[in-house]
Structure 1
């Protein structure tokens, strides 16, 4: 029988963070079996370690709807689950998006290093604003909309107020169609509290989930976005708060290093002893 672990990522409290399923031995599972497990687990993603060779772990990620190329919170959860069994230290994951090194320290805090990121400027966002029920005058002009990638594509849209971010109510099916047409994994909705502290929310209809409580892949992409637009300068560490409006507070740290385009995303993960 396949052992399915459950971890909450980007938190030290099992009732917070983003739950992820983890299967450390998926070598005997085909695509259909992995998709079925992801549906049964019911979390936004489940990670499957499909093999290991020369110290490199092959990892795939499935939402309840489909396979995704990369998932940050499930990567953190998988790294911590492995570290608890084989020891802390350096890991290397081979994912559909590329090679992702992950370091786990003595406090079971995992730091992943993203694949090479990119940022695409976006012009007209009136359609997505209409889907969200937002208005152009509510946006933060200092943080213009853009698509950012660090393993998966995310549309960054920023609001000028915390209240606008808190009042999230969107048309699920319209946003799903909008995102599928543009190959987006989530929206990264942002409010800037300070120069290095941000509050974020991530609708995830393409995964069959209204909202993700913590999104490591989007956090990495957001770091690339801030650097590309010159909003922050490396070296810098950013703090992202996510999941508070869902009652699952999450803490994500994003590090930009001088001379290195790749983004580092850090957070804890803890086992969930009871499903749900």
Structure 2
């Protein structure tokens, strides 16, 4: 544990980044603690709660690498905390963390390995037109049927009528590091009007071990608008959700909504005034899903 000049534990460095946007006012803010060695669960939860972002990532250099600039394998163990609880995996905080590491101490673009509770997640940072983008590769995904009674309860909590769903995109529970219930709205107006029973939806999500609901409206062959209620994390809505994007990519492929080899564009945060763009890449013959996006540091005081 790092100590200060008086020999007391030093406060950990906490960075603030927004992911899936190039404007600090867009995308999804995340906290990044680049060296969480010595922090216990209570300390990490307290930091996440104080920041108030949907997630904060806590990184510790891992056994597989030093995490130092120039290291051929920059490996970290990573834990993710919302203001209320730990979550197994968080995509936007992963993207934010990788870009933060690339910028910190001049480490630069390159490959990282994140060991998460959900499994090993490789991340590559690359620069294009002066912007750093990170691409994470999910753990192996899986898709499950959603029980009709659970779908009915979710719709009741959302205030949606069954007829407002898009029958071409049936409800499923999708996993690519965390579990998400996918519900597709038949119209953009239905997706835009989000006002739900926080307590009722939280209870359902805890029972089903869901991280978010992935609410979707299909705007084109490979284009989707999405929203993610996140009451189990103490947040009404997540502005840009990389874990849900990975799960949705697996869902879309599993239901043959898109080809096995495809690039999807997900638009999220517009209805919150924090627009972001998530790129989801599917590769034929590889079950894993890749999610890409830019990330930028949030200026002090912003």
Task: Report matched runs for 1:1-276 at 5 Å.
Answer: 1-55=11-65, 56-85=75-104, 86-106=107-127, 107-124=131-148, 125-275=151-301
Q: List per-residue Cα deviations over 1:169-220 (Å, max 9, x = no partner).
A: 0000000000000000000000000110000000000000000000000000
Matched residues in 1 for 2:201 and 2:301: separation?
Answer: 29
Q: In structure 2, the residue corresponding to 1:53 is in which secondary structure?
A: coil
Note if contact 1:60-1:96 (Cα within 8 Å) is conserved in structure 2. yes
Note if contact 1:6-1:275 (Cα within 8 Å) is conserved in structure 2. no
Structure 1 spans left out of the alignment, 5+ residues:
none
**Cα distance, 1:275–1:172 mapped onto 2, change above 3 Å:** farther
RMSD between aligned residues: 0.8
Structure 2 spans left out of the alignment, 5+ residues:
1-10, 66-74
Deviation (angstroms), 1:121:
1.3
Q: In structure 2, the residue corresponding to 1:112 is in which secondary structure?
A: strand
- What is the TM-score when the length of structure 2 is the normalising length? 0.90
Matched residues in 1 for 2:108 and 2:120: separation?
Answer: 21
Matched residues in 2 for 1:54 and 1:158: separation?
Answer: 41
Matched residues in 1 for 2:146 and 2:53: separation?
Answer: 30
**Cα distance, 1:128–1:194 mapped onto 2, change above 3 Å:** same
Matched residues in 1 for 2:95 and 2:110: separation?
Answer: 13
Note if contact 1:20-1:47 (Cα within 8 Å) is conserved in structure 2. yes
Q: Mark the structure with the bigger radius of gyration.
A: 2
Matched residues in 2 for 1:120 and 1:261: separation?
Answer: 15
Matched residues in 2 for 1:273 and 1:88: separation?
Answer: 21
Matched residues in 1 for 2:180 and 2:251: separation?
Answer: 10
Query: Which aligned runs of 4 or more in structure 1 are off by greater than 4 angstroms?
Result: none
Deviation (angstroms), 1:275:
4.7
Matched residues in 2 for 1:98 and 1:109: separation?
Answer: 22
Note if contact 1:146-1:156 (Cα within 8 Å) is conserved in structure 2. yes
- What is the TM-score when the length of structure 1 is the normalising length? 0.98
Matched residues in 1 for 2:213 and 2:89: separation?
Answer: 15
Matched residues in 1 for 2:12 and 2:146: separation?
Answer: 44
Matched residues in 2 for 1:115 and 1:61: separation?
Answer: 16
Q: List per-residue Cα deviations over 1:33-53 (Å, max 9, x = no partner).
A: 101100111100000002322
